[in-house]
């Protein structure tokens, strides 16, 4: 590796459940990504049925519907793959989970100004149980991120256990349904950072983001990298659907599964859903967990 994490960065990740790499990507690459996002969005909207490519915000911006998510950007354009496979990013991932890993899935959350949707508290691995937790959620800010435009928030040091994500009817709620009020589990940490910064976050670290009511966008790429010996545990048809978007990124596949980490949380997902936002919105009125 030419760009390994420092011992201090690795220690921070192990202890807190995340580490921030500020200004990892420069302005020319971010401008190239901007142009590609615009092109992919225009092409999808012009094509009629955009539902497999884009998800739109429920509110309008200047009278127009605008995207809040691009699905599977890794597979949409070479520019997005260029970002995901940058050796500086991959060396950071390798520093934490070793040299054999896949990109399990990808998405681009747009958070447009004034109407960007909130994301409720949740833990990523609750959505896709695996045999071990050597899985990293990599978030890359394409814009300067602050509390004003809905930056990521995390609950540090809670990446060794699961919170409950169960709705009253027993189904997966897509969000933490335990009471997190009054800083019972510690004070949330907002991760404010400039455009081009990357956050490497453990897949069990609880996190959320506030709505964007500012006049600034807050777009974030998310790539899930997993060790090749971390295999999915079947919990329904969504397991196979998610696996269709996996890509070997570095090293080689594993022939053996490794079992480690907290006992996997198995979601009851016999009700199909396509959007984290929609799933959380449907359950929020029924659950109403207290915000931290």
The pLDDT tens digits for 73-98 are: 999 999 999 999 999 999 999 999 99
DSSP assignment of 203-265 equals: TT--EEE--B-SSS---EEEEEEEETT-PBPP-SHHHHHHHTT-EEEES---SS----SSPPP
**pLDDT, mean over the chain:** 93
Instruction: Kindly report the number of other CB atoms within 10 A of residue 226's CB atom.
Output: 27
Quick one: pLDDT at residue 33? 96
Domains of the chain, start order: 7-287 (2.60.120.620)
Q: Is the pLDDT reported for residue 170 higher than 60? A: yes
The predicted model gives 20-28 an average pLDDT of: 97
Q: Could you give the CA distance from residue 52 to residue 274 in angstroms, rounded to a whole number?
A: 10
The pLDDT tens digits for 248-262 are: 999 999 999 999 999
The residues facing 229 across adjacent strands are none
- pTM listed for this prediction: 0.94
Contacts of residues 278-281 at CB distance under 8 Å and 24 or more positions apart, as own/partner, are 279/172, 279/173, 279/174, 279/175, 280/119, 280/120, 280/122, 280/173, 280/174, 280/175
The residues facing 61 across adjacent strands are 64
**Backbone torsions φ then ψ of 215, nearest 5 degrees:** -100, 15
With the C-alpha atoms ordered 110, 214, 26, 29, is the resulting torsion angle positive or negative? positive
The pLDDT tens digits for 112-146 are: 999 899 999 999 999 999 999 999 999 999 999 99
């Amino acid at each position: 590796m030419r760009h390994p994490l420092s011992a201090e960065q690795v220690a921070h990740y192990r202890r807190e459940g995340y580490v921030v790499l500020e200004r990892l990507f420069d302005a020319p690459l971010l401008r190239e990504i901007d142009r590609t996002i615009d092109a992919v969005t225009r092409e999808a909207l012009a094509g009629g049925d955009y539902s497999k490519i884009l998800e739109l915000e429920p509110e309008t911006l200047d009278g127009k519907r605008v995207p809040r998510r691009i699905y599977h950007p890794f597979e949409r354009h070479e520019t997005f793959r260029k970002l995901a496979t940058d050796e500086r990013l991959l060396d950071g991932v390798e520093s934490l989970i070793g040299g054999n890993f896949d990109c399990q899935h990808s998405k681009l959350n747009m958070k447009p100004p004034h109407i960007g949707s909130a994301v409720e508290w949740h833990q990523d691995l609750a959505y896709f149980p695996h045999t071990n937790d050597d899985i990293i959620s990599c978030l890359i800010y394409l814009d300067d991120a602050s509390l004003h435009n809905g930056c990521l928030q995390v609950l540090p040091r809670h990446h060794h256990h699961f919170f409950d994500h169960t709705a009253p009817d027993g189904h997966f709620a897509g969000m933490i349904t335990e009471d997190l009020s009054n800083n019972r589990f510690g004070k949330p940490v907002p991760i404010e950072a400039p455009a081009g910064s990357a956050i490497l976050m453990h897949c069990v670290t609880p996190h959320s983001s506030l709505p964007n009511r500012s006049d600034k966008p807050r777009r974030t790429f998310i790539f899930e990298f997993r060790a090749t010996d971390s295999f999915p545990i079947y919990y329904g048809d969504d397991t196979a659907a998610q696996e269709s978007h996996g890509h070997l990124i570095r090293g080689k596949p594993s022939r053996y599964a490794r079992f480690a980490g907290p006992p996997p949380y198995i979601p009851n997902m016999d009700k199909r859903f396509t959007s984290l936002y929609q799933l959380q919105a449907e359950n929020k009125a029924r659950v109403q967990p207290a915000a931290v």
